[in-house]
């Protein structure tokens, strides 16, 4: 082909058609490249929005997309260069996908209870009140040989039952260590006594003094707790007392004096120290003798009384032992006098009575 052929009309049309094809091809390739580059920020923005949704943050609003440039016409000399990645705005944020996210758990509202649901009386230790009923505080429930504590723990109940005292063997009886039923007391001891009598005859004034032996018993019933009414019998004997006649001692180993008293009285115990006081009054009789004077007299019935103070200690639930101090007094008129002179009752004045006073220290045992 000659150089002049390029300026011919057919050739010029061919060249212009080729240039137009190249320009269209270049614009198409540039558009594809721009679309590929523009999709990259959109993917990054989607990932950022997904991460913000997981962490509870909201992505910042992006700037509005600029108005795209008008498409080039076929008459332009060269295609427009593709836009840079930094100049392409990110696409608007997509709405979060709530279909795959787990729904937020909402706690249920507590049940409403009325005053009728409360437990009355209150549940004992190891139980809780729930909807008006006492239920075990232990979950799961304790075994057959276990007990639930107030802290919600199960402990063995066999040890507690084994350690508990036996109610039948160790518990005291209802009337133990009390004075509230029938009563029995025995006393024995020693003491000292003195007696005197004005005979009103040649024998003059007779006085006895010396040591005594004492024995007594009483039986009774509690009027109310700690107050005892009792009947008693006591015996006091002076062995070999010293005898004086008008103040002059008469030595004789056969001098005797004995006193018997049948009485009705009472005793009161001060608890819990178990200290008691008591007294009794009754019918008394005496027998006395002065062998050196050939005199032996059995008195008539007289009056006697006794006063007590004592302290006892329990040796069992109903038995006590202790000590007591007893003062005895009796005045008895003379009776039949033998071996010397028989005195008629009309000839015996009241001054001839025999008066006896005794003080005894006693050992006591009582059961009530």
How far apart CA 325 and CA 270 sit, in angstroms, is 16
- Residue 345 Rama label (left phi>0; alpha psi -120 to 50; beta): alpha
pTM reported for the whole predicted model: 0.50
- The pLDDT of residue 105: 58
> What are the DSSP E strand ranges found in 86-204?
127-130, 133-136, 146-148, 154-156, 182-198
Tens of pLDDT along 120-149? 888 888 888 888 888 888 888 888 888 888
Residue 351 token pair: 């001054």
Domains of the chain (ranges plus CATH)?
182-367 (2.40.160.20)
Per-residue pLDDT of 178-230, as tens digits, reads 888 899 999 999 999 998 887 766 667 878 889 999 999 999 999 999 999 99
For residues 354-360, average pLDDT = 92
The contacts of residue 288 (CB under 8 Å, 6+ apart) are: 195, 197, 208, 256, 257, 258, 296, 297, 299, 354
């Amino acid at each position: 082909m000659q150089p002049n052929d390029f300026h011919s009309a057919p050739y010029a049309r061919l060249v212009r058609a080729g240039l137009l094809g190249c320009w269209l091809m270049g614009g198409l390739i540039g558009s594809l490249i721009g679309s590929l580059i523009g999709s990259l920020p959109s993917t990054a923005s989607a990932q950022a929005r997904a991460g913000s949704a997981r962490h509870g943050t909201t992505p910042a609003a992006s700037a509005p997309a600029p108005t795209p440039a008008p498409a080039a016409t076929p008459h332009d000399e060269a295609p427009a260069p593709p836009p840079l990645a930094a100049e392409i705005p990110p696409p608007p944020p997509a709405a979060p996908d709530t279909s795959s996210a787990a729904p937020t758990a909402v706690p249920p509202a507590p049940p409403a209870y009325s005053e009728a649901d409360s437990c009355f009386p209150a549940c004992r230790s190891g139980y809780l009140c729930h909807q008006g009923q006492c239920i075990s505080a232990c979950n799961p429930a304790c075994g057959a040989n276990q007990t639930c504590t107030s802290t919600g723990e199960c402990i063995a109940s066999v040890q507690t039952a084994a350690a508990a005292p036996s109610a039948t063997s160790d518990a005291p009886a209802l009337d133990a260590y009390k004075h509230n039923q029938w009563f029995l007391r025995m006393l024995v001891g020693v003491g000292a006594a003195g007696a005197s009598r004005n005979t009103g005859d040649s024998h003059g004034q007779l006085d006895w003094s010396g040591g005594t032996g004492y024995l007594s018993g009483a039986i009774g019933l509690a009027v109310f707790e700690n107050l005892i009414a009792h009947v008693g019998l006591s015996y006091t004997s002076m062995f070999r007392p010293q005898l004086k006649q008008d103040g002059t001692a008469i030595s004789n180993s056969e001098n005797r004096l004995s006193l018997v008293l049948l009485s009705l009285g009472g005793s009161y115990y001060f608890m819990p120290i178990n200290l008691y006081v008591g007294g009794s009054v009754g019918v008394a009789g005496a027998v006395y003798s002065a062998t050196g004077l050939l005199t032996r007299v059995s008195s008539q019935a007289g009056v006697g009384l006794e006063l007590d103070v004592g302290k006892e200690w329990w040796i069992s639930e109903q038995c006590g032992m202790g000590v007591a101090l007893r003062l005895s007094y009796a005045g008895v008129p003379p009776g039949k006098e033998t071996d010397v002179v028989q005195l008629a009752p009309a000839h015996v004045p009241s001054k001839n009575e025999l008066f006896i006073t005794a003080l005894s220290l006693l050992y006591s045992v009582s059961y009530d």
